[in-house]
């Protein structure tokens, strides 16, 4: 048997695994319940379950790529370890002052987010580098040494170092970092120039503070799971998914945990891009609806939309990441009534424990899952392929007691209302990620995945104006499929502000050559041979006076004057697309150069399926399912996904069941299976 790859995505409700046999391209998937207090235990359970179902030898597993929410959860739950911060004298409060931006401009009572490091653990060092990179004052080793005991006594497990203008010249920051590592043993140290070498002090300070705070957590997590994985998979190279859609080694994950802020959702976005390439569909809107949240990503002309202005819990994170819009709408989202009997869905989630009322694990609040069950969209005996049964009567009781009776309506009407409100929440997010960014929904295919995505996709596409939806072969574990296909990736950036005629090959070539050198060194350390390396350049541009930038692709090789002019022309075009205006006559600034270093792991291409010759396919049964279009239950054909072959098609209304998800096809819609086994649904007028 050939080499085996595993992709594991730990979600809030389930932990998903994909087993990929490289020689044959055969894929086996499985789901096991997540464990909030023991994510590593769920990971090992998933490995054992996946290997058992695939009937493969653990010794043949050569790679495991793992997506984790450990950093995300620690930030959201305010459970980061105690962290200290050293910064330039006079800049102690940058982290707290932040920006003037108000998330809700009409809320006069809103509170600013609490900084990762409170004021009493922020310390100043007398040092200074000017904006040109000249050292005006070197740090005093005795002064820094005097802070060692202070840091220890504060109970800090990590220290972040962020000095003014260190992105231009990091010599002072590197000195203090080394003194801290020698003088405060057992405490993790992160320097901003290693994490984010870019302009903007607040964003850079926030990023390195989050990175330092996450280092003890991630180190402990990796020290716990690595030997457990090695005991089960002795020959596997263990990688972790980054927010940028690439994977990184265990050592890099220990040093740069902030790169894993959106680790799990990034795998799904990467899978969307790869499937778009395989199906020749350049414009895709990925909708990943799990048990706790929905993650939305956009692929335009075959490219992932990236950003360096992301964040978490209102805290900026200035590292390259896939642009993902996350909202608190999932299958476990709780339906509730406010003081005026207004119906809401989410953002609170029942999660995996206790879970929806139908799980019979102690949950009594009605959820989106309970509503779908009541409306006949799921069979109570076939949940997760029959590995788990759910209680229809418990779901009906929860909706009746908490929603239907207070509103004096039937259980079915209440359940339909829950679904409509959950869909409305997602519709707004879909528009933010498409039409409001200048992309026409009529030119986009909605790719739905996650355990619950295919149940809601047809209604969402209809509401937003998207003409077709695509359900991949394994939608419920699609993020894990993306993980197993991921390449190794590092991102490097350097700020150098150039204006007008300064944006020339003479100035840009040395900057990009330096970034290329760093990129090749990183891939060399990872053992990536030159033929498997791909260096992708880009740059941040803006009009003079603007406070935000637009990222523009930059061609490889030496840049002459024509190449520089082409890049500037592309900036004007992108500005017009994103903001509906551009100014070709205005002065342009180059702000930062970027290089993405990608090491190919040679993932196999999706396998084509044998055609059935077209025509219809017989359903396995018919059952009543409630649809808004009819306002009542309709006799609906139910199909097994495994029985559908390439070329087969059928009309809605229909339900397609499979181990990891259920697809709902509404009246008037038509479904077909393509040559790769994807389920395509034409929404119609």
| CATH label of the domain that carries residue 566 | 3.30.1490
Q: How far apart (Å, rounded) are the C-alpha atoms in residues 99 and 515?
A: 30
At 685 the pLDDT is 57
- Mean pLDDT on 535-563: 92
pLDDT at 122: 96
Residue 376 has pLDDT above 80, yes or no: yes
Find the mean pLDDT for residues 586-602.
91
Task: Summarize the confidence of residues 495-509 as an average pLDDT.
Answer: 92
Looking at residues 555-578, what average pLDDT do you find? 92
Q: Please check whether residue 521 lies inside any domain of the structure.
A: yes
Query: 481: helix, coil or strand?
Result: helix
Which residue is listed with tokens 């996904």?
Answer: 641
Residues 285-325 have pLDDT tens digits of: 999 998 878 889 999 988 888 888 888 777 888 988 898 88
d(CA 289, CA 312): 19
Measured at the alpha carbon of residue 293, what is the angle toward residues 311 and 355, in degrees to the nearest 5?
Answer: 135
- Contact predicate 117/83, CB 8 Å: yes
The answer as to whether 583 is a domain residue is: yes
Are 667 and 630 a contacting pair, CB within 8 Å? yes
What's the pLDDT at 548?
A: 86
The answer, yes or no, to whether residue 516 has pLDDT greater than 70, is yes
Angle CA(284)–CA(276)–CA(551) in degrees, nearest 5? 65
Instruction: Count structural domains, the chain.
Output: 2
Q: Is position 246 within any domain?
A: no
Stronger pLDDT, 583 or 35, i.e. the higher one? 583
Structural domain of 555: 488-599
The reply to whether 121 falls in a domain is: yes
pLDDT in tens, 607-650: 777 665 555 688 999 999 999 888 899 999 999 998 898 888 99
Query: What integer best gives the mean pLDDT of the chain?
Result: 90
Q: Report d(CA 123, CA 89) in Å as an integer.
A: 8
Residue 340 lies in a domain: no
Q: Residue 346 half-sphere exposure, CB side, CA atoms within 13 Å?
A: 24
pLDDT (0 to 100) of residue 611: 66
**Residue 347: what pLDDT?**
85
CATH number, domain containing residue 90:
3.40.50
pTM confidence score: 0.83
Q: Which two tokens stand for residue 407?
A: 């509103």
Q: Which of 599, 621, 654 is the last residue of a domain?
A: 599
pLDDT, position 304: 85
Q: Decide if 225 is inside a domain.
A: no
The predicted pLDDT at position 160 comes to: 97
On whether residue 492 sits in a domain, the answer given is: yes
Query: Would you say residue 460 lies in a domain?
Result: no
Task: Read off the pLDDT band of 352 (50, 70, 90).
Answer: low
Residues 6+ apart with CB under 8 A from 677: 473, 609, 646
Write out the two tokens for 113. 């987010």
pLDDT digit string (tens) for 384-437?
666 677 899 999 999 999 999 999 999 999 999 999 999 999 999 899 888 888
* Band of residue 519 on the pLDDT scale cut at 50, 70, 90: very high
| 221-247 confidence digits (pLDDT tens) | 999 999 999 999 999 999 999 988 888
DSSP one-letter string for 173-218:
HHHHHHHHHHHSTT-EEEEHHHH--SS-HHHHHHHHHHHHHHHHHH
340-to-343, 344, 593, 650 alpha-carbon distances in Å: 9, 11, 53, 44
- Chosen domain end from 199, 220, 241: 220
């Amino acid at each position: 048997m050939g080499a085996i790859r595993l992709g594991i995505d730990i979600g809030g409700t389930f932990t998903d695994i994909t087993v990929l046999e490289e020689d044959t391209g055969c894929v086996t998937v499985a789901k096991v319940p997540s464990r909030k207090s023991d994510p590593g235990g769920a990971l090992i359970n998933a490995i054992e379950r996946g290997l058992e179902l695939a009937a493969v030898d653990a010794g043949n597993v050569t790679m495991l790529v793992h997506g984790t929410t450990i950093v995300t959860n620690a930030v959201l739950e305010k459970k980061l370890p105690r962290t200290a911060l050293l910064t330039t004298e006079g800049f102690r409060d940058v982290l707290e002052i932040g920006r003037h931006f108000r998330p809700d401009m009409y809320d006069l009572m809103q509170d600013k987010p609490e900084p990762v490091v409170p004021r009493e653990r922020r310390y100043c060092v007398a040092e200074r580098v000017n904006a040109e990179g000249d050292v005006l004052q070197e740090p005093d080793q005795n002064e820094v040494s005097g802070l060692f005991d202070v840091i220890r006594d504060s109970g800090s497990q990590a220290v972040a170092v962020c000095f003014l203008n260190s992105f231009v010249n990091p010599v002072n920051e590197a000195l203090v970092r080394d003194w801290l590592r020698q003088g405060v043993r057992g405490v993790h140290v992160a320097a901003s120039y290693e994490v984010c070498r870019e302009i903007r002090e607040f964003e850079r300070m926030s990023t390195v503070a989050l990175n330092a705070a996450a280092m003890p957590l991630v180190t402990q997590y990796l020290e716990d799971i690595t030997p457990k994985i090695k005991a089960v998979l002795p020959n596997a190279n263990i990688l972790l998914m980054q927010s940028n859609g690439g994977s990184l080694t265990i050592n890099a994950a220990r040093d740069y945990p902030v790169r894993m802020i959106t680790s799990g959702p990034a795998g799904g976005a990467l899978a969307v891009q790869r499937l778009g390439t395989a199906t020749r569909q350049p414009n895709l809107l990925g909708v990943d609806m799990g048990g706790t949240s929905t993650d939305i990503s956009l692929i335009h002309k075959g490219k992932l939309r990236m950003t360096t202005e992301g964040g978490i819990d209102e805290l900026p994170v200035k590292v390259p990441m896939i642009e993902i819009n996350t909202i608190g709408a999932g299958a476990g989202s709780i339906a509730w009534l406010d003081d005026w009997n207004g119906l809401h869905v989410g953002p609170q989630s029942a999660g995996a424990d206790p879970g929806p009322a139908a799980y019979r694990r102690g949950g009594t609040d009605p959820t989106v899952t309970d509503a779908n069950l009541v409306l006949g969209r799921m069979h109570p005996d076939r949940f997760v392929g029959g590995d788990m049964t759910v209680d229809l009567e418990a779901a009906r009781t929860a909706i009746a007691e908490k929603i239907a009776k207070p509103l004096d309506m039937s259980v079915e009407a209440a359940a339909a209302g829950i679904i409509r409100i959950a869909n409305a929440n997602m519709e707004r997010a879909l528009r933010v990620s498409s039409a409001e960014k200048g992309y026409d929904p009529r030119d986009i295919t909605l790719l739905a995945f996650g355990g619950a995505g295919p149940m809601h996709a047809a209604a969402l596409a209809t509401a937003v104006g998207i003409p077709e939806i695509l359900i991949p072969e394994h939608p419920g574990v699609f993020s894990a499929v993306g993980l197993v296909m991921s390449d190794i990736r590092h991102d490097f950036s350097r700020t150098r502000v150039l204006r007008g005629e300064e944006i020339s090959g003479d100035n840009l070539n040395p900057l990009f050559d330096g970034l290329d050198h760093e990129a090749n060194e990183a891939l060399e350390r990872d053992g990536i041979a030159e033929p498997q390396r791909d260096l992708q350049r880009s740059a941040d541009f803006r009009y003079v006076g603007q406070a935000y930038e637009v990222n523009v692709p930059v061609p490889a090789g030496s840049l002459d004057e024509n190449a520089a002019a082409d890049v500037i022309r592309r900036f004007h075009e992108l500005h017009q697309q994103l903001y509906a205006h551009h100014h070709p006559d205005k002065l342009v600034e180059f702000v930062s150069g970027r290089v993405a270093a990608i090491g190919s792991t040679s993932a196999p291409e999706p396998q084509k399926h044998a055609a059935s010759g077209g025509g219809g396919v017989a359903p396995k049964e018919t059952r009543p399912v409630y649809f808004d279009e009819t306002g009542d239950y309709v006799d609906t054909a139910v199909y097994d996904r495994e029985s559908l072959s390439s070329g087969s098609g059928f009309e809605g209304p229909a339900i397609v069941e499979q181990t990891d998800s259920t697809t709902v096809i509404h009246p008037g819609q038509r479904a077909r299976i393509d040559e790769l086994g994807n389920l395509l649904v034409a929404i119609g007028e």
